[in-house]
């Protein structure tokens, strides 16, 4: 296929940009929602949309349509369809997140790929001698593990320093986070470090907390941090995203988590500036050097269908009252309601104020469960899946010796939290199933240490 790298750019070819989203004349009904997600395994209370997202049947059908079009006539598809299709998707995202220019939006596989793109350009600066041992990358201590590994691979190995900002959990206010962030920056400064890149999560993964990202980016600017990368893997479709308002240099969000795309697709926003860094897709192909958005739209022969369905996803979300904003609002309200219902039954606490969560919230588990390690949390999660048909991630919150500030219930320190999600397919009974499963485990075992070490 290397004979011509136009990839759909022939001049006689008209660009098919997406039509303005149609407003639904009738909103999607409950049976239609059930039908859209009827491929979900029956009997599982799936309250973990956060990990892998979900894709409705109508979008899966569109994806199959794109795959068939490619297979019917691959050469025609490559030369006439692919690039325009990806541009149409990028245009939808550009409008949705309020970017200035469609060239600021690239489609990549996932947040992990985006992190590699951002961190590799930092790594190159070390390799080229532009950065030295006093140059550092700053991140939150609860950054996603894969991102931490990327920092290790591209920054630490290149000789860079890493500064970790500890965040409190359970958290009571945005001010607590801002104060810790400022402390991290001050510590770096005191140690003579120049912060070349700050990586800030928009919504941390485990534990999940909605971070005051706009304020943190502003602080970075005041403090002279060179580049800011927002890892917003969970953001689009679960909070309103305005990249101009946030003001970071880079912002990534998965489209397959909360935006109903099939796996795997994410958008990476790279703010246009006079000093636009030398960013490249980690997989180098024909388009190398033509700008990240074009490089990313051809990284070799593969299935691009998940990048092509974005306009069809917009059609799906516009069947709901208020479109994506309506979905965001209802998911937030419902997850808070479900969280409250659970803490009332378990007599525990939420991990954050209601305003500091989006479509997921941390719910304290009764201390009598005795979640005493990360292994215990994995065992409990498997037990809930296998014995009760409940899919929910469990977080272990260690209590340091003599710590007074940890959250407690009537029996002791709360060391386990369930991260519950709410998406359009969830129903009250999903959360009741979790509630009753936990109550049952406690009742059956009286004290649950035995269950967890079984």
Ligand X SMILES: Cc1ncc(COP(=O)(O)O)c(C=O)c1O
| Contact footprint for ligand X (CB under 6 A) | 110-112, 144, 146-147, 201, 205, 231, 233-234, 254
| φ, ψ for residue 160, nearest 5 deg | -85, 160
Cα–Cα distance for residue pair 263/267, rounded to 1 Å? 13
Q: Is the peptide bond before 192 cis (omega within 30 degrees of 0)?
A: no
Cα–Cα distance for residue pair 257/182, rounded to 1 Å? 30
The least distance separating ligand X from the CB of residue 415, rounded to whole angstroms, comes to: 22
Q: Which is nearer to ligand X, 139 or 451 (CB)?
A: 139
Strand partners, 360: 421
The least distance separating ligand X from the CB of residue 205, rounded to whole angstroms, comes to: 3
DSSP letters for 390-407: EE--EEE----TT--SS-
Cα–Cα distance for residue pair 309/180, rounded to 1 Å? 40
Q: With residue 199 as reference, give the H or E element that holds it.
A: strand 194-201
Q: Which is nearer to ligand X, 99 or 115 (CB)?
A: 115
The least distance separating ligand X from the CB of residue 56, rounded to whole angstroms, comes to: 19
Give the torsion through C-alpha atoms of 322, 324, 327, 333, to 10 deg. Answer: -90
Q: Which is nearer to ligand X, 257 or 271 (CB)?
A: 257
Going 17 to 106 to 425 to 65, the CA torsion angle's sign is positive
Residue whose tokens read 């998406």: 423
Strand pairing category for 105-108 and 266-270: antiparallel
The least distance separating ligand X from the CB of residue 264, rounded to whole angstroms, comes to: 6
> Are 165 and 226 contacting, i.e. CB atoms less than 8 angstroms apart?
no
Q: Which is nearer to ligand X, 45 or 264 (CB)?
A: 264
Q: Which is nearer to ligand X, 146 or 283 (CB)?
A: 146
> Are 147 and 231 contacting, i.e. CB atoms less than 8 angstroms apart?
yes
Strand pairing category for 416-421 and 394-396: antiparallel
Report helix, strand or coil for 451. Answer: helix
Q: Which is nearer to ligand X, 44 or 146 (CB)?
A: 146
Name the residue among 180, 190, 216 with its Cα closest to residue 201: 216
Q: Which is nearer to ligand X, 144 or 259 (CB)?
A: 144
Name the residue among 357, 367, 448 with its Cα closest to residue 407: 367
Name the residue among 335, 298, 32, 85 with its Cα closest to residue 203: 335
The least distance separating ligand X from the CB of residue 409, rounded to whole angstroms, comes to: 28
The least distance separating ligand X from the CB of residue 145, rounded to whole angstroms, comes to: 9
Q: Which is nearer to ligand X, 110 or 227 (CB)?
A: 110
The least distance separating ligand X from the CB of residue 112, rounded to whole angstroms, comes to: 3
Cα–Cα distance for residue pair 109/264, rounded to 1 Å? 5
The least distance separating ligand X from the CB of residue 412, rounded to whole angstroms, comes to: 30
Q: Which is nearer to ligand X, 168 or 326 (CB)?
A: 168
The least distance separating ligand X from the CB of residue 286, rounded to whole angstroms, comes to: 25
Q: Which residues contact 144 (CB under 8 A, 6 or more apart)?
A: 111, 201, 205, 231, 233
Q: Which is nearer to ligand X, 62 or 306 (CB)?
A: 306
The least distance separating ligand X from the CB of residue 398, rounded to whole angstroms, comes to: 20
């Amino acid at each position: 296929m290397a004979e011509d790298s136009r990839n759909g750019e022939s001049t006689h070819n008209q660009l098919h940009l997406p039509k303005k989203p149609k407003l639904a004349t009738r909103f999607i009904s409950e049976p239609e929602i059930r039908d859209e997600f009827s491929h979900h395994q029956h009997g599982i209370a799936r309250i973990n949309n956060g990990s892998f997202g979900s894709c409705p049947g109508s979008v899966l059908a569109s994806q199959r349509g794109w795959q068939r079009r490619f297979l019917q006539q691959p050469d025609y598809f490559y030369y006439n369809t692919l690039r325009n299709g990806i541009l149409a998707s990028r245009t939808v995202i550009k409008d949705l997140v309020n970017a200035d220019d469609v060239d600021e939006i690239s489609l990549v596989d996932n947040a992990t790929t985006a992190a590699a793109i951002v961190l590799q350009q930092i790594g190159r600066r070390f390799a080229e001698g532009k950065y030295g041992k006093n140059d550092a990358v700053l991140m939150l201590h609860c950054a996603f593990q894969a991102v931490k590994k990327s920092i290790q691979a591209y920054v630490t190995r290149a000789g860079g320093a890493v500064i970790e900002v500890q965040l409190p959990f359970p958290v009571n206010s945005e001010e607590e986070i801002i104060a810790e962030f400022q402390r991290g920056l001050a510590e770096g400064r005191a140690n003579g470090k120049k912060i070349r890149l700050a990586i800030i999560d928009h919504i941390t993964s485990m534990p999940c907390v909605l971070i005051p990202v706009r304020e943190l980016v502003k602080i970075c600017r005041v403090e002279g941090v060179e580049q800011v990368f927002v890892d917003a893997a969970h953001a689009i479709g679960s909070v309103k995203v305005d990249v101009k308002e946030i003001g970071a240099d880079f912002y990534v969000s998965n489209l397959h988590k909360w935006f109903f795309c099939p796996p795997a697709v994410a958008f990476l926003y790279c703010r246009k500036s006079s000093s636009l860094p030398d960013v490249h897709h980690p997989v180098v192909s024909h388009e190398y050097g033509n700008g990240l958005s074009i490089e990313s739209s051809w990284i070799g022969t593969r299935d691009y269908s998940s990048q092509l369905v974005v306009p069809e996803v917009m059609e799906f979300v516009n069947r709901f009252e208020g479109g994506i904003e309506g979905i965001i609002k209802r998911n937030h309200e419902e997850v808070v309601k479900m969280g409250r219902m659970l803490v009332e039954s378990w007599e525990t606490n939420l991990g954050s104020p209601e305003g500091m969560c989006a479509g997921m919230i941390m719910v304290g588990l009764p201390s009598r469960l005795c979640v005493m390690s990360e292994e215990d949390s994995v065992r409990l999660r498997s037990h809930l899946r296998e014995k009760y048909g409940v899919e929910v991630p469990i977080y272990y919150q260690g209590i340091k010796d003599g710590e007074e500030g940890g959250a407690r219930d009537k029996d002791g320190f709360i060391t386990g939290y369930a991260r519950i999600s709410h998406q359009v397919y969830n129903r009250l009974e999903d959360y009741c199933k979790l509630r009753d499963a936990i109550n049952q485990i406690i009742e059956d075992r009286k004290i649950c240490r035995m269950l967890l070490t079984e």
